[in-house]
C-alpha cells in the first residue's frame, strides 16, 4: 500500500451514499469497494486485502456495532482501521462505536476535506502496522533460518567429535599397546578438549531449540535423591582431582518431583560443575534439598570465588562470563546458566543465587512436587521401576 492506491471498503445500505463515497475516494486516488451491510463487509474483508473501512451504523442484516464487534474480536481483522459514518444527531451511537474500537467518525453528508484527512491518517497508521508486521515476519523467518542452521551445524559437528572421543578412549584402553605416561597424559587432554567441544555443541543446539520454542520436555515423577546421585557420580573424578569435599543433604522422605530426568540432570550437572570450576582446590560444595510449599528447593553452595555485584545482573545472559582471572582460566562458554534457567522455568520452577566475592555462592532452583491428582497408587502403577526411593 506504501504510496500506492489503497482499497477502502464502504459499508452502507443506501446505494446513493455508497456512490457518493466511492466517487470521493476515487478522486483521492484510491479504490472504493461497496457492500450493503455488515455481513457482506465481513465476507469482503476475508477475501480482499482491505486497508480501511467506512462503516454506516444503522443497516439491516448486520449493523455497524455487530460488524465492529466481530472485526475487533478477530485477530486477522482487528488492525484494519474503521471510520464510522453516521447522521449528525447520532453522537451517542458514534461514542459506542468508538468504545467498540472504531478509529474515528464522520458525519453525513460527508465533507470532502474531512474525509481526505481521515483517510490519510488511517492509512498512515495502517502503513506503519503493515511495515511492523513485515519486519516481524522477516525477523521470525531469519530466526527460524538461524535455528535450522545451528541445528544442522551442531548435528554435523557432533558425530565426528563423538568419534574422536571414541578413538582416544580406544587408544587409552585397548590394551594392545599400552600408552606411555606421556601419551596417556596427552590422550587425556585430547579427551577433555573433545568433551568440552561436544558440550559446547550440545549447549548451542539447546539454546537454539529453547529460543525457537522447540525444546520438548517429558516430565514424570522423579526422585531428587537419585538425580543428585547421578550428577555427583558424573562429576566425581573432577571433584577428586581438585580434592574438593562434597556434602549432599537430601532428606529420605522428600516428596517426588515432577520433571524431565535428562533436563534435571543437566541442571544439577551445570550447577555442580560451576561450583567445582569456580571453587579453589580443597574447597567445599554442598547440595541441600528442602520442601517448600508445592515445590522442592535445591541449593548448590560452594566456597569459591563468588560473583561480584557488577557481574551479578548478567550471569544468566547467554555467553556472559565474569572477567576475573579465576573465571577466565576455567573452560566455559557462558551458556550453562542461561540454559539452566530456561530448563528450570520450562519445568515450572525458578532459579536464583546469593554470593559474596571471595567467600562463595549458593544457587537455588525450585522444581514442582508431583501434582496432587497423581496419587501414589497411580504413580506406582505407571512407573514402578523408577521409584527406588529410600
> Counting contacts by CB under 6 A, is residue 365 touching ligand ADP?
no
Phi, psi dihedral angles at 11 (to 5 degrees): -120, 105
Options 16-24, 58-66, 291-299, 313-321: segment touching ligand ADP (CB under 6 A): 313-321
> Counting contacts by CB under 6 A, is residue 357 touching ligand ADP?
no
> Counting contacts by CB under 6 A, is residue 205 touching ligand ADP?
no
Nearest approach in angstroms of CB 219 to ligand ADP is 24
Q: What is the DSSP letter of 4?
A: S
User: Of 201, 208, 207, which Cα lies nearest the Cα of 154?
Assistant: 201
Instruction: Give whichever of 37 and 276 is closer to ligand ADP, judged by the CB atom.
Output: 276
Options 115-123, 156-164, 187-195, 317-325: segment touching ligand ADP (CB under 6 A): 317-325
Helix then strand count (H, E) for the chain reads 11, 12
Nearest approach in angstroms of CB 359 to ligand ADP is 11
Q: Are strands 31-35 and 284-292 parallel, antiparallel or unpaired?
A: unpaired
Cα–Cα dist 10/25, whole Å: 10
Instruction: Give whichever of 34 and 338 is closer to ligand ADP, judged by the CB atom.
Output: 338
> Counting contacts by CB under 6 A, is residue 351 touching ligand ADP?
no
Ranges within 292-311 binding ligand ADP (CB under 6 A): 302, 304-307, 311
**CA 65: distance to chain centroid?**
38
Q: Are 300 and 369 in contact (CB under 8 A)?
A: no
Per CB under 6 A, the list member of 288, 334, 346, 352 interacting with ligand ADP is 334
Ranges within 104-133 binding ligand ADP (CB under 6 A): none
Nearest approach in angstroms of CB 198 to ligand ADP is 14
Q: What is the DSSP letter of 332?
A: -
Per CB under 6 A, the list member of 332, 351, 366, 367 interacting with ligand ADP is 332
Options 119-127, 212-220, 240-248, 331-339: segment touching ligand ADP (CB under 6 A): 331-339
> Counting contacts by CB under 6 A, is residue 272 touching ligand ADP?
no
Place of cell 464510522: 84
Q: What is the DSSP letter of 180?
A: P
Q: Are 46 and 35 in contact (CB under 8 A)?
A: no
Contacts of 97-103 with CB under 8 Å at 24 or more apart are 97/55, 97/57, 97/64, 97/65, 97/68, 100/65, 100/68, 100/69, 100/72, 101/68, 101/71, 101/72, 102/55, 102/68, 103/52
> Counting contacts by CB under 6 A, is residue 206 touching ligand ADP?
no
Cα–Cα dist 89/265, whole Å: 70
Alpha carbon dihedral 163, 164, 167, 169, in 10-degree steps, equals: -100
Instruction: Give whichever of 17 and 208 is closer to ligand ADP, judged by the CB atom.
Output: 208
Instruction: Give whichever of 335 and 343 is closer to ligand ADP, judged by the CB atom.
Output: 335
> Counting contacts by CB under 6 A, is residue 327 touching ligand ADP?
yes
Instruction: Give whichever of 334 and 348 is closer to ligand ADP, judged by the CB atom.
Output: 334
Nearest approach in angstroms of CB 151 to ligand ADP is 21
Binding mask 220-259 for ligand ADP (x = CB under 6 A): ----------------------------------------
> Counting contacts by CB under 6 A, is residue 343 touching ligand ADP?
no
> Counting contacts by CB under 6 A, is residue 278 touching ligand ADP?
yes
Secondary element (H or E) of residue 276: helix 261-277
Instruction: Give whichever of 49 and 323 is closer to ligand ADP, judged by the CB atom.
Output: 323
- Give the residue at shortest CB distance from ligand ADP: 332
> Counting contacts by CB under 6 A, is residue 361 touching ligand ADP?
yes
Q: Are strands 7-11 and 52-56 parallel, antiparallel or unpaired?
A: parallel
Q: Are 30 and 7 in contact (CB under 8 A)?
A: yes
Nearest approach in angstroms of CB 324 to ligand ADP is 7
3-class secondary structure, 104? strand
Residue 158, CB half-sphere, CA atoms under 13 Å: how many? Answer: 13
Binding residues for ligand ADP (CB under 6 A): 270, 274-275, 278, 302, 304-307, 311, 315, 320-322, 327, 332-338, 361
Amino acid at each position: 500500500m506504501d504510496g500506492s492506491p489503497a482499497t477502502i471498503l464502504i459499508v452502507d445500505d443506501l446505494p446513493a451514499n455508497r456512490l457518493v463515497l466511492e466517487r470521493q475516494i476515487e478522486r483521492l486516488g484510491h479504490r472504493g469497494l461497496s457492500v450493503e451491510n455488515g455481513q457482506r463487509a465481513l465476507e469482503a474483508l476475508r477475501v480482499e486485502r482491505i486497508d480501511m473501512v467506512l462503516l454506516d451504523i444503522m443497516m439491516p442484516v448486520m449493523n455497524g456495532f455487530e460488524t465492529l464487534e466481530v472485526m475487533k474480536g478477530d485477530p486477522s481483522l482487528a488492525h484494519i482501521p474503521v471510520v464510522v459514518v453516521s447522521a449528525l444527531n447520532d453522537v451517542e451511537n458514534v461514542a459506542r462505536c468508538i468504545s467498540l474500537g472504531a478509529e474515528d467518525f464522520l458525519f453525513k453528508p460527508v465533507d470532502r476535506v474531512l474525509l481526505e484527512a481521515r483517510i490519510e491518517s488511517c492509512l498512515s497508521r495502517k502503513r506503519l502496522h503493515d511495515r511492523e508486521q513485515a519486519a516481524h515476519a522477516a525477523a521470525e523467518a531469519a530466526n527460524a533460518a538461524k535455528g535450522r542452521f545451528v541445528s544442522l551445524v551442531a548435528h554435523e559437528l557432533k558425530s565426528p567429535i563423538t568419534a574422536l572421543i571414541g578413538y582416544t578412549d580406544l587408544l587409552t584402553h585397548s590394551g594392545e599397546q599400552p600408552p606411555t605416561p606421556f601419551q596417556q597424559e596427552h590422550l587425556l587432554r585430547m579427551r577433555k578438549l573433545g568433551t568440552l567441544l561436544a558440550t559446547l555443541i550440545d549447549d548451542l543446539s539447546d539454546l537454539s531449540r529453547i529460543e525457537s520454542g522447540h525444546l520438548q520436555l517429558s516430565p514424570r515423577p522423579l526422585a531428587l535423591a537419585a538425580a543428585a546421585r547421578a550428577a555427583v557420580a558424573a562429576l566425581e573424578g573432577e571433584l577428586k582431582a581438585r580434592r574438593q569435599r562434597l556434602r549432599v543433604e537430601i532428606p529420605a522422605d522428600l516428596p517426588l518431583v515432577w520433571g524431565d530426568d535428562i533436563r534435571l540432570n543437566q541442571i544439577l550437572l551445570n550447577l555442580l560443575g560451576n561450583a567445582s570450576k569456580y571453587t579453589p582446590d580443597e574447597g567445599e560444595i554442598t547440595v541441600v534439598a528442602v520442601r517448600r510449599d508445592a515445590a522442592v528447593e535445591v541449593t548448590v553452595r560452594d566456597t569459591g570465588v563468588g560473583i561480584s555485584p557488577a557481574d551479578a545482573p548478567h550471569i544468566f545472559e547467554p555467553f556472559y562470563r565474569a572477567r576475573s582471572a579465576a573465571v577466565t582460566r576455567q573452560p566455559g562458554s557462558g551458556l550453562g546458566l542461561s540454559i539452566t534457567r530456561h530448563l528450570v522455568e520450562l519445568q515450572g520452577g525458578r532459579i536464583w543465587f546469593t554470593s559474596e566475592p571471595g567467600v562463595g555462592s549458593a544457587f537455588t532452583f525450585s522444581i514442582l512436587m508431583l501434582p496432587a491428582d497423581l496419587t501414589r497408587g497411580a504413580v506406582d502403577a505407571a512407573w514402578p521401576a523408577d521409584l527406588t526411593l529410600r
